[in-house]
Amino acid sequence: MDKNGNQAVLADPAALQIVEFPHDGVKAYFTTAHATESTMHDVFDRVSAEMAARDARIAFQYLFGGRQFHPKAVSAIKQLDWPLTLLHGDACSGSTVTGTQFIALSGAELQPVMDGGRKVGNWYDTTDARYCLLGDIRADDLALGREAQARAVFEKMEALLGQAGMEFADIARTWIYLNNLLEWYDEFNEVRTRFFRERGVFEKMVPASTGIGAGSAAGEEMVAALLAVKPKHGGVKVFAVPSPLQCPALDYKSSFARAVEIDQPGSRLLLISGTASIEPGGKTVHLGDTGKQIELTMQVVHKILESRGMDWGDTSRAIAYFKDITEAPLLEKYCLDHHLPELPVAISHADVCRHDLLFEIELDAVKAG
């Protein structure tokens, strides 16, 4: 609480924010935590202990900070049995760690997905659907140029899904991180659109996505993650959700949906793509004013939530990306001023997909029924 009794957007820096999402006998646990170089060991140990107490296995992790911290992060985990995607934002000096997020699962028999000798995720079955969550996907040949690496990553995503008996068109959401994104985002979009067209994605459903300027531990040109869902019957629906306040991203040749919802008996998961200060015609607005860009972005996200009968309190995880990390307190100010509940949001220092965008947020929300 602040001095006026309002609840803050961010939790106590020492706290773990854990949101539980039950679906068809399985429970997913979304954990968000502040972390620094000096607290990584403690944070990782606490998350592992909390998940063990819930009989849950960690399946996925993001760490936000300089790539120099990758060896320390790996050594801080007693038994690394999941993909650890470290993101060194293009705008980041690399000298700090800002936070981490985990996804863990209980009640499911996790089947590994392997990229050679490297585990990149798991798939699992429920009565209603098959799910696959993969991370830290990258090209094998880092001598390839940017566009060739991007193509190789999409091809690898498809091949890895094949291990789970799934197809590329089963993808509900992607996370795309491009090294020096602002130098080649248009070219990347051409590669993605061509691949989607070849695989018939536009005839089915374009996935939700985040596209951010960030390098990985080894400095690959592109690193990716994905969530895929394959329904087993008509009672499970996976569908794109429009943004009431923005045009489709396809209108300006960026191949992603504003949001995707996964409806299954007893629960709903809404995946909101990376969202920024873009007006209905597709142009950036509030140039040079991060506070105003945050305000519009949060309005856009809230309208998507409301359109699906959800609100801020249903948030399971979020990542806020800042071009200038010193402006991160502006998000907390917005949430305090608008009386938002405490949000499980990780902060990342990274470039957004346009030179004039200063802030972006992605957000997932869950609801029973």
Whether the CB-CB separation of 96 and 198 falls below 8 Å is answered with no
Query: What residue type is assigned to position 350 of the chain?
Result: A
Return the pLDDT at 340.
Answer: 97
Domains and CATH numbers, the chain: 16-368 (3.30.1330.40)
In the structure, what pLDDT confidence band is assigned to residue 12 with cuts at 50, 70 and 90?
low
In the structure, what pLDDT confidence band is assigned to residue 7 with cuts at 50, 70 and 90?
very low
Return the pLDDT at 326.
Answer: 94
User: For residue range 34-47, what is the model confidence (pLDDT) as tens digits?
Assistant: 998 899 999 999 99
**Pick the residue with more confidence: 359 or 87?**
359
User: For residue range 132-153, what is the model confidence (pLDDT) as tens digits?
Assistant: 999 999 999 999 999 999 999 9
Return the pLDDT at 5.
Answer: 31
**Could you give the residue ranges of the DSSP H alpha helices within the chain?**
40-53, 70-75, 146-162, 185-198, 290-307, 329-337
**DSSP E strands, 90-221:** 97-106, 111-115, 118-125, 129-138, 171-178, 208-215
Torsion of CA 59, 61, 67, 68, to 10 degrees: -80
Return the pLDDT at 13.
Answer: 59
Checking 39-44 for CB contacts under 8 A at 24+ apart, the result is 40/69, 40/72, 40/73, 40/76, 40/97, 40/100, 41/76, 43/16, 43/100, 44/73, 44/76, 44/77, 44/100
**Pick the residue with more confidence: 61 or 7?**
61
What is the spatial distance between Cα 287 and Cα 285, in angstroms, rounded to a whole number? Answer: 6
User: For residue range 188-206, what is the model confidence (pLDDT) as tens digits?
Assistant: 999 999 999 999 999 999 9
Mean pLDDT, all residues of the chain: 92
Return the pLDDT at 219.
Answer: 80
Tell me what percent of the residues of the chain surpass a pLDDT of 90: 84
Return the pLDDT at 161.
Answer: 98
Query: What residue type is assigned to position 248 of the chain?
Result: P
Name residues whose C-beta falls within 8 Å of residue 146's C-beta, 6 or more positions apart in sequence: 178, 179, 184, 187, 188, 221, 222
**Pick the residue with more confidence: 10 or 28?**
28
In the structure, what pLDDT confidence band is assigned to residue 14 with cuts at 50, 70 and 90?
low
What is the spatial distance between Cα 302 and Cα 244, in angstroms, rounded to a whole number? Answer: 10
Please give the average per-residue pLDDT across 297-305, as a whole number: 98
In the structure, what pLDDT confidence band is assigned to residue 9 with cuts at 50, 70 and 90?
very low
What is the spatial distance between Cα 244 and Cα 267, in angstroms, rounded to a whole number? Answer: 23
In the structure, what pLDDT confidence band is assigned to residue 259 with cuts at 50, 70 and 90?
very high
What is the spatial distance between Cα 215 and Cα 224, in angstroms, rounded to a whole number? Answer: 11
Name residues whose C-beta falls within 8 Å of residue 345's C-beta, 6 or more positions apart in sequence: 9, 10, 32, 315, 317, 318, 319, 320, 331, 361
Return the pLDDT at 4.
Answer: 31
Q: Closest Cα to residue 274, out of 306, 310, 243? A: 243
Return the pLDDT at 2.
Answer: 32
Please give the average per-residue pLDDT across 250-263, as a whole number: 90
Q: What is the SS3 assignment for 126? A: coil
Q: Which pair of tokens denotes residue 43?
A: 């944070």
